[in-house]
Amino acid sequence: MDDQTQLKRTPLYDFHVSLGAKMVPFAGYDMPVQYPAGVLKEHLHTRAAAGLFDVSHMGQVELVATSGAYEDAAKALETLVPVDILGLKDGRQRYGFFTDDNGGILDDLMISRLGERLLVVVNAGCKDADIAHLRANLPDGVEVLVHDDRALLALQGPKAEAVLSALNGDVASMKFMDVREFTLSDIHALVSRTGYSGEDGYEISVPADRATELAKALLDQPDCQPIGLGARDSLRLEAGLCLYGNDIDTTTSPVEASIEWGIQKVRRSGGAREGGFPGAARILRELDNGTSRRRVGLKPEGKAPVRPPAKLFADAEGKTEIGHVSSGGFGPSAEGPIAMGYVPTALAEPGTQVFAEVRGKYLPLTVTALPFVTPTYKR
């Protein structure tokens, strides 16, 4: 059996093929990297109107305390993440990450509260490990329910609200990071106002056997087009968002990765529930005292993209290696090449010049504030 026949398929696989998608392996799944329009047009369409993404390869996990009390499930999850879960209000979502005993990042995730339940969306490549991590470390009083019977669609762009409102006008009342249950036409769905593009938009969890029906209903509207993984990557890069395995992993701490904003005051030094998560000693120390390196935005001079894992140097001769590029490519909306990478904290100030080794040459890049485009989330 070759690698291709071993790939998993999402519930929308046949629909992607019918739309002329180019399918590629990604995180163990056969996924659409682009449609006939091509990556550039798909990217720009999402920024201008509405793009529909299949993200059903990601893991959807529900945590429920056998006591029925949200607090019991929240306290249990807080032992694995440096995030305020107890304070998460009903109908709200929060960004978080699993950390290991060394303060590295096992995965980043989205955590929602719906009544007494906790809903966690994890990355496809880490899904099996994350589920095993939850089951091994949560107490017996918290059930881990994996929803393999559901699909997940992302609708992104400035016209996403109008497109989804055609199926249920009540979705327009949602704010960024709200999560609610809706009927879209006659399909029961869990909808969060979030995304991975830097644009306003929604992520929609539906029963797997209704996913194609919902996708067709959304794509029937002229402002909505299907978008593949290629444009998803360039959109998230422009938005300065991390890709697990590239920008963050077990060798990077949340502070090094510049995502410490995801750690609320109550879990920090002096907070009511200070620490109590894996790697707390290192992470709290870095929050208080800083760290030796930081993830930053990088703008290459000229037109040549700088891609990972290009090495970064302090000088144009390549004598002093200082870090590496973690993500990079062409930013259609930024109108040029863009990248992210790790540099010493002393060189992390916007405007600092560094150099990347590309095919034996040392190309200049300027450290730049993130994101590269202004987000349009509905606050």
Fold of 292-379: Elongation Factor Tu (Ef-tu); domain 3 (2.40.30)
Q: Where in the chain is the domain with CATH 2.40.30.110?
A: 292-379
Helix (H, G, I), strand (E, B) or coil at 55: coil
Write a three-state SS string for 302-366: CCCCCCCCCEEECCCCCCCEEEEEEEEEEECCCCEEEEEEEEEHHHCCCCCEEEEEECCEEEEEE
The single-letter code of the amino acid at 253 is: S
Residue 5: per-residue pLDDT: 60
Residue 3: per-residue pLDDT: 47
Q: Where in the chain is the domain with CATH 3.30.1360.120?
A: 3-51+149-238
CA distances to 208, 233, 243, 294, 356 from 366, rounded to whole Å, are 45, 21, 21, 15, 10
Task: Identify the CA nearest to 237 among candidates 341, 130, 94.
Answer: 341
d(C-alpha 285, C-alpha 280), whole Å: 8
CB 28 within 8 A of CB 72: no
The single-letter code of the amino acid at 111 is: I
Write a three-state SS string for 244-310: ECCCECCCCCCCCCCCHHHCCHHHCCCCCCCCCCCCHHHHHHHHHHCCCEEEEEEEECCCCCCCCCC
Chain position carrying tokens 């590496």? 324
| DSSP string computed for 113-144 | EETTEEEEEE-GGGHHHHHHHHHHHS-TTEEE
d(C-alpha 29, C-alpha 7), whole Å: 5
The CA dihedral of 160, 161, 167, 173, to the nearest 10 degrees, is 150
Chain position carrying tokens 């109108």? 335
End-to-end CA distance of the chain: 49
Q: What is the pTM of this model?
A: 0.96
Task: Identify the CA nearest to 305 among candidates 335, 338, 332, 327.
Answer: 338
Chain position carrying tokens 């249950």? 181
Q: What is the pLDDT along the chain (379 residues), one digit of tens a residue?
A: 344 468 999 999 999 999 999 999 999 999 999 999 999 999 999 999 999 999 999 999 999 999 999 999 999 999 999 999 999 999 999 999 999 999 999 999 999 999 999 999 999 999 999 999 999 999 999 999 999 999 999 999 999 999 999 999 999 999 999 999 999 999 999 999 999 999 999 999 999 999 999 999 999 999 999 999 999 999 999 999 999 999 999 999 999 999 999 999 999 999 999 999 999 999 999 999 999 999 999 999 989 999 999 999 999 999 999 999 999 999 999 999 999 999 999 999 999 999 999 999 999 999 999 999 999 999 8
The single-letter code of the amino acid at 6 is: Q
Question: What's the CATH number for 3-51+149-238?
Answer: 3.30.1360.120
The C-alpha angle with vertex 21 and arms to 241 and 204, in degrees rounded to 5, equals 50
